[in-house]
Structure 1
Amino acid sequence: MQFLAYILVYPIIWLISILPFRLLYAFSDGLYILLYHIIGYRKQTVKENLDLVFPNLSATEKKRITKAFYHHLCDMTVEAMKSLTISEAEMKKRFQFKGFDVIHNLIEKDKSIALMCAHYGSWEWIFVMQSFLDFKGYAVYKKLKNPYFDDLVKKIRARYNSYLITTKETVPTLMHAKVNGNLTICGFVSDQSPKANKAHYWTEFMGIKVPVYTGAEMLSKRINMSVVFFKVKRLRRGYYETTFELLAEDAKAYDNYEITDKFLRKVEAQIEEAPEYYLWTHKRWKHRDKVPAEFQ
């Protein structure tokens, strides 16, 4: 059944991927009508999240954010499909970088890099940054249930010398590279919600105490990686700008969770600036009523 699903869906994805951008975004507009107006995909979750973190915003402003968010979500969906066939030159034109000197300065110091980001803006085309580097890049991800689609996603990322690794593969992969004297850059989407009973640290995010992932920080301390935040800004439809900001050159010099807190403040600033580009369909604050006594 999984292979059947793949051979039925893959041709559709490929056909969408070869559409010129004008038609691609026309398709996105249709997808928006389907998801927002007809299916109502996770609209209640989006409403609850916005009510929770922006209690002082008017209903009119929240509705504006919601509609803009769904438009952006659909754009990211078709852009992910476009990754299958888009040229490197086209991607570089549409996903540009600022502050790349931060990365190069760390490389000159022989430092591997933990790249922290959030579900904000667009993270689909960040992999093109590897075309500016001459060593492997990795991204920690959750393996897809369908092995054929999982292989497809990994193949697309590998076009730019980037490789997807699971949480269990992260430590041995990066340790192996370190032992062999190889520099690496590894991306962590670090704003997700861990299971409440497995969280080591709880802190405020958008004014609400929640469990947070600390893996990027702890791994950086363990194998002496520098930590960099990448901030994505949507310039206009289909065009993004990423800025690299140093969080910690020597992770071991920071108290536990200090780097994680710095990262979360950066994400909050992004959200406050343009909330429509955050992933509001994610149940980020679902454990807010389970705060352990030691973190209250």
Structure 2
Amino acid sequence: MGAIAYYFVYAILWSISILPFPILYFLSDCIYFLLYKVIGYRKKTVRYNLKITLPHLSDEERLKIEQNFYHHLCDMFLEMAKTLTISEDEMKKRYRFTNLEVVKEFEKKNKSIILMTPHYASWEWVIILGKFIDFKGFGIYKKLSNPRFDKLVRDMRSKFDAELISTKETVKKIKENQSINIHGIYLFLSDQTPNLRKGLQWEYFLGHEVPVHMGAENLARELDMNVLYLKVSKVKRGFYEAKFIPITDCVLEEKDFEITKRFLKLSEEQILEKPDYYFWTHKRWKHMGRKNEVE
């Protein structure tokens, strides 16, 4: 995309970001009508995912979850744009960490920390964590092919003392930090679907056997890092609470795959508790039942 198109899109995002929150959410309602009612963005995928993972619910109950999810999806997109200009004080008011003492205790162990979380509620605003911790905060992300938009995403997500690391640079960067005694907290969105290939680990997630990413666990074992789960809850529109749940502080004593299994279990419990805020547009179960194809 050329420079003119980039600056046009940037101008739109910046204009959205300066809107007061009541107007921002009115705009979100308008986008919801267009995205859900008119375009039907990935509606078949969402309905399929809800049907196979929540079979115990009625069609009416799943439809309500579907509608709530699309409202939340639109909210989160505009909240991401809001990150461009939101102040630190406003962010702290809207994104609260309820038990920071858990992180502080883990920091005292003088080991870097992997923070595992699913695509649930809001992961974009986790960047404010950098204002509360002693360690350096890092987010793992997939680099965009367009360098201008990649820089925009990095700038937005690097506010409040956070730093982004692309997936391809993760191992190298963490090892470099370890070699110069920089302790970090590394955020991994660990519920994504890996490309289908031989050698994948398969686990049950919301009732179905699927391939899972092992990157966070493998790095934790290789570099002797402690692991936390971040449970983010949506309190009300535009307000979130995040709770830290220890997964392990003795990674070398854990059985193989145990860390990933605990992450999946915690994610399942959170999703089943309030499924409206999980990222249902992901084709998380697209490889379901295909294990024999790659063995």
1:64, CA displacement in angstroms?
Answer: 0.2
- In the aligned structure 1, how far is the partner of 2:5 from the partner of 2:134? 37
User: Which amino acid in the other structure matches residue 249 of structure 1?
Assistant: D
Determine the structure 2 residue equivalent to 1:243.
Answer: 243
Listed one character per residue, the Cα deviations across residues 209-244 of structure 1 (whole Å, up to 9, x for unaligned) are 000001001101111110000000100000000000
Q: How many residues align?
A: 295
1:163, CA displacement in angstroms?
Answer: 1.3
- Asked if structure 2 preserves the Cα contact closer than 8 Å seen for 1:144 and 1:150, the reply is yes
Determine the structure 2 residue equivalent to 1:47.
Answer: 47
- In the aligned structure 1, how far is the partner of 2:42 from the partner of 2:157? 28
- In the aligned structure 2, how far is the partner of 1:15 from the partner of 1:165? 28
User: Which amino acid in the other structure matches residue 159 of structure 1?
Assistant: K
Determine the structure 2 residue equivalent to 1:106.
Answer: 106
User: Which amino acid in the other structure matches residue 76 of structure 1?
Assistant: M
Q: Which runs of 4+ in 1 moved over 6 A?
A: none
1:292 counterpart SS class: helix
RMSD (CA atoms): 1.3
Name the CA shift for 1:187/1:248 in 2 (closer, same or farther; >3 Å).
same
2:45 counterpart SS class: helix
Listed one character per residue, the Cα deviations across residues 175-230 of structure 1 (whole Å, up to 9, x for unaligned) are 11111111111000000000121552001000100000010011011111100000
Listed one character per residue, the Cα deviations across residues 92-118 of structure 1 (whole Å, up to 9, x for unaligned) are 000000121111011111121000000
Determine the structure 1 residue equivalent to 2:25.
Answer: 25
- Asked if structure 2 preserves the Cα contact closer than 8 Å seen for 1:69 and 1:276, the reply is yes
Determine the structure 2 residue equivalent to 1:16.
Answer: 16
1:293, CA displacement in angstroms?
Answer: 8.0
Determine the structure 2 residue equivalent to 1:268.
Answer: 268
TM-score by length of 1: 0.97
Which residues in structure 2 correspond to 1:180-195 (within 5 Å)?
180-195=180-195
**223-232 vs 144-153, greater mean Cα deviation:** 144-153
User: Which amino acid in the other structure matches residue 19 of structure 1?
Assistant: L
1:125 counterpart SS class: helix
Determine the structure 2 residue equivalent to 1:222.
Answer: 222
Is structure 2 residue 83 aligned with structure 1 residue 87?
no
- In the aligned structure 2, how far is the partner of 1:133 from the partner of 1:40? 41
Unaligned 5+ runs, structure 1? none
Determine the structure 2 residue equivalent to 1:288.
Answer: 288
Identity between Structure 1 and Structure 2 (%): 47
User: Which amino acid in the other structure matches residue 173 of structure 1?
Assistant: K
- In the aligned structure 1, how far is the partner of 2:279 from the partner of 2:208? 17
Is structure 2 residue 135 aligned with structure 1 residue 131?
no
Determine the structure 1 residue equivalent to 2:56.
Answer: 56
User: Which amino acid in the other structure matches residue 30 of structure 1?
Assistant: C
**187-196 vs 156-165, greater mean Cα deviation:** 156-165
TM-score by length of 2: 0.97
- Asked if structure 2 preserves the Cα contact closer than 8 Å seen for 1:154 and 1:164, the reply is yes
- In the aligned structure 2, how far is the partner of 1:139 from the partner of 1:159? 11
Is structure 2 residue 202 aligned with structure 1 residue 202?
yes
1:135, CA displacement in angstroms?
Answer: 3.5
1:144, CA displacement in angstroms?
Answer: 1.3
- In the aligned structure 1, how far is the partner of 2:56 from the partner of 2:114? 36
- In the aligned structure 2, how far is the partner of 1:199 from the partner of 1:65? 35
Name the CA shift for 1:180/1:36 in 2 (closer, same or farther; >3 Å).
same
